[in-house]
Amino acid sequence: MTGINENYLKLKAGYLFPEIGRRVKAYAESNPQAKIIRLGIGDVTLPLAPSIVNAMVEAAKEMGNPQGFHGYGPEQGYSFLIQKIIEHDYTKRGVKIDEDEVFVSDGSKCDCGNIQEIFALDAKIAVVDPVYPVYVDTNVMAGRTGEADANGRYQNIVYMPATEANQFEPEFPKEKADIIYLCYPNNPTGMVASKARLTEWVEFAKKNGSIILFDSAYESFIQDPNIPKSIFEIPGAKEVAMEFRSFSKTAGFTGTRCAYLVIPKELKGKTKAGESVSFNSLWSRRHSTKFNGVSYITQKGAEAVFSPQGQMEIKEQIAYYMENARLIREGLGKAGYTVFGGTNAPYIWLKTAKGMKSWEFFDHLLQSAQVVGTPGSGFGPAGEGYFRLSAFGKREDVISALERIQKL
Amino acid sequence: MTGINENYLKLKAGYLFPEIGRRVKAYAESNPQAKIIRLGIGDVTLPLAPSIVNAMVEAAKEMGNPQGFHGYGPEQGYSFLIQKIIEHDYTKRGVKIDEDEVFVSDGSKCDCGNIQEIFALDAKIAVVDPVYPVYVDTNVMAGRTGEADANGRYQNIVYMPATEANQFEPEFPKEKADIIYLCYPNNPTGMVASKARLTEWVEFAKKNGSIILFDSAYESFIQDPNIPKSIFEIPGAKEVAMEFRSFSKTAGFTGTRCAYLVIPKELKGKTKAGESVSFNSLWSRRHSTKFNGVSYITQKGAEAVFSPQGQMEIKEQIAYYMENARLIREGLGKAGYTVFGGTNAPYIWLKTAKGMKSWEFFDHLLQSAQVVGTPGSGFGPAGEGYFRLSAFGKREDVISALERIQKL
């Protein structure tokens, strides 16, 4: 019989969100009358903006006539979209990015999961704890870690705890770390990194020969004009960082699927023999060998996000979600909870009631208030005793959820 | 500096199709007046069928209203599509497949490239030579091979030559092979496998503890009713095979992106300790950790392929391409070429003129006839001296190309 990749057996019971799905489904089946409110998985609820829908309707029609039909597109993405991304997200903020440094894909989850393939198997990764599980799980699958301990921490990963004690701002790794995953605005804590702090990270990476994988999927939720939206706003960052961006939360693309990864040509790795190799060229090879581009229709939809009308429409949606965030933050505060995040990010990070464990609080909230959130411990052991609520719900659901929680 | 995955450095100069793209671009730039006809990359040219376009237009509109909006979908694909796939592609042909055995994705290139992740790193692969390069390159990247020799054959891969001598029907591997990649109708040779031959493959895999990765992306081009469309039509195949299917060629989805992978629950691998593990469960974990589902709009388009009207429309398209195949086969025959394939597949495999090498013939055809094909050697050393033409062109281009070739 054919051998399996045994690294998969090191993984914990299940990917967080499917596990939540299973528990909610079981509860719903035993309580068919319950009106469950989902503020768990970070899924958007507002419909796609009219500019985006119109662009996709037109693109679908184009695909139906001989002149407008598009077969295989460039694996890296169409120029019409890449140019808009560069102009809007980088040039306007004083950052110079070339077209061949942007790789359009079908999602940041895929990019974050696949990127580790281009690194050496013995490269050591560092992650914040709590963290988006995909960073860790994909490295476990690749064999870059040992077994997990009783707390769920894998051997050979450097964990950087983000706790109340350090105001959720992790310290620099004390051990050697080749690859540092950072996510700002942060999922799950909702915290952001100041320009000063990001500058320190860039300097740390330079000094220690590390590279930073910067996940800025939530940059459009930043309200404070002094907070950087891109790590490339920091001088020298192009030599030490790559950046993940997504239309999922910015423009409601969770079910439409479009994202991009920026890898500056200055960003280099090395062979064991000491030869320097550009990560851009390695990823280009990976992307063109294992991926075949994003749907033309989807890319036309993404392009419309950058039109003046599209920008106006998505800004309204973001304002709607940020008003939800304010309601959750303040509502939970009134109910006596200690809350974090939610001012420059769509996530609110709270301490569970009465020192409950995260999954205990999950079950409590589901059974007593029919509200679904995400257990902090699902993001790592330092998340134990915390809980994440998402601001992506419908306004009436957010209000009902808070009323129910306040009554508990 | 961070270490790179040095397996990438073992890869040959470039993935085949980007290399063709570069040569064609260079020629077009020096010869701006040339009317180049592209029969190289297997890209479709007919527009999407009306049923598919209508379904996607409706789905895009749905996404723009609160009731119809879809966020994250099930990673494995929507039931509405999976049920149609099972009913149409399997139940009707007497094969029983369960919903949780079908994984919808954004392309067979991705599936074929990613599937190797769930196998042991020391599992040995066997491929036909010539072969679709993705099977080989993705195993090189993973470190499952040694270096390539002067002919481009990698150490630690079992090659099964398909040549005129064996009528392009490769013999069973003589060495131990854990994973056997088969593609029928074949890319690039255009050959098919009879029921008897597929039965022998299934028996061989059973006897030797191998599994078969069966790529049937071109099954809809089979004209002979006695040729199996699915390996699962062979009794016992579910214990030894998984199957890759795609809408790319069947329904013109090369720029729309939808495919699926069928992994029967009976298909098992084993740990070093001898414990048996289902590949379905491993892939399910991989798929939900590194992938986030296919666009709702795309899945609605794919669903429309199975409607009675959709079926009628795509059958017309397939008939159009198969008429191209007939014209190419017969036209090349008249021009004195020896040709293979093209009767149950959209590819014609020909011997180059005057014993030219494949890339030499590529340059010759490009420069003398402005026709682009695919060099056989790009698919492996046994493809040297052969050339692939695709039947996916526009009729008038196919006719012009043949006229030009006949004049050479």
B396 and A CB contact within 8 Å: no
Separation of alpha carbons A108 and A217, rounded Å: 8
Please give, rounded to a whole number of angstroms, the shortest distance from the CA of A99 to a CA of chain B.
17
Separation of alpha carbons B392 and B346, rounded Å: 7
Separation of alpha carbons A368 and A407, rounded Å: 10
CA contacts within 13 A on the Cβ side of A230:
27
Confidence of residue B13 (pLDDT cuts 50, 70, 90): low
Contact by Cβ (8 Å): B339, B379: no
- Domain ranges, ordered by start, for chain A: 6-47+309-407, 65-307
A4 and B CB contact within 8 Å: yes
Please give, rounded to a whole number of angstroms, the shortest distance from the CA of A226 to a CA of chain B.
31
If you count DSSP H runs as helices and E runs as strands, how many of each does chain A have, helices first? 11, 15
Separation of alpha carbons B277 and B280, rounded Å: 9
For the segment B201-246, what is each residue's pLDDT rounded down to a tens digit?
Answer: 999 999 999 999 999 999 999 999 999 999 999 999 999 999 999 9
The chain B residue lying nearest A44, using CA atoms, is B71
Query: Is B247 known to sit in a ligand binding site?
Result: yes
Separation of alpha carbons B396 and A160, rounded Å: 63
Residue B311 has pLDDT above 80, yes or no: yes
- Of A387, A56, A77, nearest to A252 (Cα)? A56
* B-interface mutation test, from A70, A250, A297, A392, most B Cβ less than 10 A away: A297
Q: Which fold has domain B55-306?
A: Aspartate Aminotransferase; domain 2 (3.40.640)
The pLDDT mean for chain B works out to: 96
- The DSSP secondary-structure symbol of A239 reads G
ipTM confidence:
0.96
Q: Which residues of A touch B109 (CB under 8 A)?
A: 290-292
Q: Provide CATH code, domain B6-47+309-407.
A: 3.90.1150.10
| B 330-389 → A contacts, CB under 8 A | none
- Does A4 contact B46 at a Cβ distance shorter than 8 Å? no
Please give, rounded to a whole number of angstroms, the shortest distance from the CA of B250 to a CA of chain A.
13
A5 and B CB contact within 8 Å: yes
Mean pLDDT of A108-124: 98
For the segment A165-204, what is each residue's pLDDT rounded down to a tens digit?
Answer: 999 999 999 999 999 999 999 999 999 999 999 999 999 9
What per-residue confidence (pLDDT) applies to A17?
A: 80
Q: Which residues of B touch A141 (CB under 8 A)?
A: 117, 286, 289
Q: Which of A72, A118, A290 sits opposite B255 (nearest CB)?
A: A72
Q: Which residues of B touch A123 (CB under 8 A)?
A: 2-3
Mean pLDDT of B249-274: 98
Mean pLDDT of B256-276: 98
| Buried b / exposed e along A5-20 (16+ C-beta atoms within 10 A) | bbbbebbeeebbbbbb
Q: For chains A and B, count residue pairs whose Cβ atoms are closer than 8 Å.
A: 276
What per-residue confidence (pLDDT) applies to B160?
A: 98
Confidence of residue A364 (pLDDT cuts 50, 70, 90): very high
The chain A residue lying nearest B19, using CA atoms, is A288
Q: Which residues of B touch A1 (CB under 8 A)?
A: 209, 268-270, 276
Query: Is A292 known to sit in a ligand binding site?
Result: yes
Residue A151 has pLDDT above 90, yes or no: no
User: Beta-carbon neighbour count of residue B297 at 10 Å?
Assistant: 32
In the block, residue with structure tokens 């067979």: B108
In the block, residue with structure tokens 């939530």: A218
A80 and B CB contact within 8 Å: no
The secondary structure element, H or E, covering residue A26 is helix A16-30
- Does A289 contact B255 at a Cβ distance shorter than 8 Å? no
Query: Is A54 known to sit in a ligand binding site?
Result: no
What per-residue confidence (pLDDT) applies to B15?
A: 67
Q: Which residues of A touch B210 (CB under 8 A)?
A: 2
Please give, rounded to a whole number of angstroms, the shortest distance from the CA of A336 to a CA of chain B.
32
Q: Which residues of B touch A45 (CB under 8 A)?
A: 69, 71
For the segment A61-71, what is each residue's pLDDT rounded down to a tens digit?
Answer: 999 999 999 99
Confidence of residue B260 (pLDDT cuts 50, 70, 90): very high
Separation of alpha carbons A319 and A330, rounded Å: 16
Q: How would you class B279 by CB atoms within 10 Å of its CB: exposed for 0-12, middle for 13-18, buried for 19 or more?
A: buried
Separation of alpha carbons A263 and A284, rounded Å: 10
User: Beta-carbon neighbour count of residue B147 at 10 Å?
Assistant: 10
- The DSSP secondary-structure symbol of A4 reads B
Query: Is A253 known to sit in a ligand binding site?
Result: no
For the segment A317-328, what is each residue's pLDDT rounded down to a tens digit?
Answer: 999 999 999 999
The chain A residue lying nearest B276, using CA atoms, is A1
Q: Which residues of B touch A268 (CB under 8 A)?
A: 1
Q: Which residues of A touch B56 (CB under 8 A)?
A: 56, 60, 63, 297
What per-residue confidence (pLDDT) applies to B12?
A: 81
In the block, residue with structure tokens 């589901």: A366
Q: Which residues of A touch B71 (CB under 8 A)?
A: 43-45, 252, 254-255
B226 and A CB contact within 8 Å: no
- Of B381, B261, B391, B373, nearest to B37 (Cα)? B373
Contacts of A162 (CB under 8 A, 6+ apart): A128, A129, A130, A168, A169, A170, A186, A189, A191, A382
The secondary structure element, H or E, covering residue B142 is helix B133-142
Confidence of residue B14 (pLDDT cuts 50, 70, 90): low
Q: Which of A60, A254, A269 sits opposite B2 (nearest CB)?
A: A269
What per-residue confidence (pLDDT) applies to A309?
A: 98
Confidence of residue B151 (pLDDT cuts 50, 70, 90): confident
Query: Is A109 known to sit in a ligand binding site?
Result: yes
Query: Is B93 known to sit in a ligand binding site?
Result: no
Q: Which residues of A touch B73 (CB under 8 A)?
A: 255
Residue B320 has pLDDT above 80, yes or no: yes
What per-residue confidence (pLDDT) applies to B41?
A: 81
* A-interface mutation test, from B290, B294, B397, most A Cβ less than 10 A away: B290
Please give, rounded to a whole number of angstroms, the shortest distance from the CA of B171 to a CA of chain A.
20
The chain B residue lying nearest A11, using CA atoms, is B285
- Does A60 contact B64 at a Cβ distance shorter than 8 Å? no
Query: Which three-class secondary structure state does DSSP give residue A87?
Result: helix
Confidence of residue A353 (pLDDT cuts 50, 70, 90): confident
| A 140-169 → B contacts, CB under 8 A | 141, 143
Please give, rounded to a whole number of angstroms, the shortest distance from the CA of B197 to a CA of chain A.
22
Confidence of residue A14 (pLDDT cuts 50, 70, 90): low
Query: Is A114 known to sit in a ligand binding site?
Result: no
Query: Is A247 known to sit in a ligand binding site?
Result: yes
CATH architecture of A65-307: 3-Layer(aba) Sandwich (3.40)
For the segment B44-53, what is each residue's pLDDT rounded down to a tens digit?
Answer: 999 999 999 9
Residue A40 has pLDDT above 90, yes or no: no
Q: Which residues of B touch A209 (CB under 8 A)?
A: 1-2
Q: What one-letter code names the amino acid at A65?
A: N
Backbone angles phi, psi at A157, to 5 degrees: -115, 140
What is the token pair recorded at A291? Answer: 């991926």
A50 and B CB contact within 8 Å: yes
Q: Which residues of A touch B246 (CB under 8 A)?
A: none
- Does B110 contact A292 at a Cβ distance shorter than 8 Å? yes
Q: How far is CA B372 from CA B21, B255, B332, B338, B405, in A?
A: 10, 20, 15, 18, 11
Query: Is A72 known to sit in a ligand binding site?
Result: yes
Separation of alpha carbons A383 and A151, rounded Å: 11
What per-residue confidence (pLDDT) applies to A42?
A: 84
Confidence of residue A15 (pLDDT cuts 50, 70, 90): low
